[in-house]
Structure 1
Amino acid sequence: MSSYIAPAENISKAWLHTLEHVVEAGGHAINVVSTVANPLAPEDLPIRSAIDHTLTEGYRHGIRIQSVDTVAGTIFPHDLYADTGLTYRVGIDPEDVAKLDASAADLYTAYGEMLPILATDTANSRGTYFGRMVSWPGKAAGGVNQIADRITRLRRSFDTNTARRNVEDIAVGGEAEFGDDVVGLQTYAADDRRERGFPCLVHVDLTLYQRRLNMSATYRHQYLVTKAYGNLLGLSRLLGFLAKHTGFEVGELMVVATFADAEQGTYTKRGVAELIAAARTGL
């Protein structure tokens, strides 16, 4: 049965409430909808400390464990982005627009230069999330930059005072077809028989409503301990980047997990219960 988690004020509480719900449901749940009302709100330190302490990099029962920031960087490489402190706005000075665009271009270039190295990791054999967003299909630089295209489209909406519209999707999973207007139409290869694996994140959608930019993301399999917190952090940073470069306010972030996994097989029921207890300390 599908589950709707009440909207949380920040990514920390959204993650914790979702994990608690899935644990109460027996460790697994389908079609779980989690919402962050303010994705850029400060994180809760007790919750972040608990998950950071749990995610010791290395391998656990054959599962590769990465830090929260490493996982977040697969969606938005925050460390490669030099924030100018500027925000796109009505009547913005052309020189400031140039600075904004240069900071984004530097990010795309830096990541493109890293792609050959990232591709040597077996986990990235089919590309990376951010690589697919800025250089589809994501294995090398020079592909279709969906992020740059979405910024162009969103600025057009901002300049014409458009308050409501869907701004298409950002293809991540399957295949995508791009026409002259560079709109990504996400499809799936007929010969793709993979039951599980990259990408778990298959769809990102952007929607304008009341001059706020909202994001929804769909995961085939959401690993709630090893991946989910980092995924929320990366998505929130990506949404903040898009809002800064297009002038819109940051709206809500919604994540749909078609299959949510509390990973009690990897961390044991006791281990996950201890994680939740530690996250609740000080709240």
Structure 2
Amino acid sequence: MNRSSTPRLIEAGNLSVGWATIVRELMRPGTRSISPLIFSLVGFDANFDPQETPAIRNGLDQMLGDIGKRDCENVAFTIFPQKHYLLSGGNREAFFELYREAFPRIQELNPRNNRRGSYFQRLVDYEGGNNGLNQLDWILKEYERNPHGRRSKWQATTFDPYRDYSSTAQLEFPCLQQVSFTFSDDDGLIVNAFYATQQIIRKAYGNYLGLSRLGKFMAHEMHLKLERLNVFVGVAQADEAKRSDPHFQALMKIIDVTLDAEATVEA
């Protein structure tokens, strides 16, 4: 198994292509992880949604469904609940209240994955029980009060050592530890996310989609434009992907065709 401590930077103007590039690298003979990985996404459309390639997204969702795993939209929901935001009509306070009130029902529907909370729940109700600190609300109100304040205060955490230190061999949550926000000189918002480990095949696409939506929301509330998403990963893993699995082979064919076409256009 190939191991390296040299950081690998992958910058992309398209979420699907960037994710596919990481997958292709993980599928090199003898490689099961990239450590560390830095994924930097700069491709956002006029509405500040990430650029995507439907063939890759649909191919991944098809494979995930075939093997009984959650699709990209479901994973993205754990970081940013898009449907609750739309139901709130874009009203920030209504959005936070709607989600906090709904989370116990969300938890009941999927107790295995949500037993100890979810990422967005920790961001807006850190201690839980609809009585915890709303970190995003604090950041937004503080930015409105003093947008030029101390740069280190624009951060929110999802990891809680009191609840999350565990000797269990593998935990589904939380791999995302922290999100921070920085600003460019061109009224741009830059989102930085930190993962101890990341399951690239099952989770990463949905993670990047959810983080992009979180960034779009924060940028809108700050009257900025979403400029870049940086994801820092201690260990990026190929998780359950088996090269011999026909479902995964079908996805890799889509990835190879798309990336080869991209390379031809660039050449």
Alignment of 1:1-283 (within 5 A): 1-24=5-28, 26-39=31-44, 40-56=49-65, 59=68, 65-82=69-86, 103-120=91-108, 121-138=111-128, 140-158=129-147, 162=148, 165-175=151-161, 192-194=166-168, 196-197=170-171, 198-210=173-185, 211-263=187-239, 266-271=240-245, 272-282=248-258, 283=261
1:79 positional shift: 0.7
Checking the alignment, whether the CA contact within 8 Å between 1:51 and 1:279 is kept in structure 2 is no
- Return the TM-score normalized by structure 1: 0.77
Distance (whole Å) between structure 1 residues aligned to residue 87 and residue 190 of structure 2: 21
Checking the alignment, whether the CA contact within 8 Å between 1:57 and 1:67 is kept in structure 2 is no
Give 4+ residue runs of structure 1 displaced > 6 Å after superposition. Answer: 188-191
Q: What's 2:265 paired with?
A: none
- 1:119-159 C-alpha deviation (Å, 9 max, x unpaired): 33122121111100001124x2121111111111233355x
- What residue identity is the alignment partner of 2:130? A
- What residue identity is the alignment partner of 2:138? D
3-state SS in 2 of match to 1:42:
coil
Distance (whole Å) between structure 2 residues aligned to residue 237 and residue 23 of structure 1: 28
> For the structure 1 residues 155 and 106, does the alpha-carbon distance in structure 2 shift closer, same or farther, using more than 3 Å as the test?
same
Structure 1 gaps of 5+ residues are: 60-64, 85-98, 176-187
Distance (whole Å) between structure 2 residues aligned to residue 33 and residue 170 of structure 1: 19
Checking the alignment, whether the CA contact within 8 Å between 1:22 and 1:262 is kept in structure 2 is yes
1:221 positional shift: 1.9
> For the structure 1 residues 193 and 168, does the alpha-carbon distance in structure 2 shift closer, same or farther, using more than 3 Å as the test?
farther
> For the structure 1 residues 56 and 131, does the alpha-carbon distance in structure 2 shift closer, same or farther, using more than 3 Å as the test?
same
> For the structure 1 residues 196 and 163, does the alpha-carbon distance in structure 2 shift closer, same or farther, using more than 3 Å as the test?
same
Distance (whole Å) between structure 1 residues aligned to residue 66 and residue 55 of structure 2: 20
- Return the TM-score normalized by structure 2: 0.82
- 1:197-250 C-alpha deviation (Å, 9 max, x unpaired): 110111111111212111111112211111010000000000000001111111
- Answer 1 or 2: which has greater helix percent: 2
3-state SS in 1 of match to 2:38:
strand
Structure 2 gaps of 5+ residues are: 262-267
Checking the alignment, whether the CA contact within 8 Å between 1:2 and 1:29 is kept in structure 2 is no
3-state SS in 1 of match to 2:144:
helix
3-state SS in 1 of match to 2:154:
strand
Distance (whole Å) between structure 2 residues aligned to residue 137 and residue 173 of structure 1: 11
3-state SS in 2 of match to 1:142:
coil
3-state SS in 2 of match to 1:35:
strand
- State, as a whole percentage, how many aligned pairs show the same letter: 25
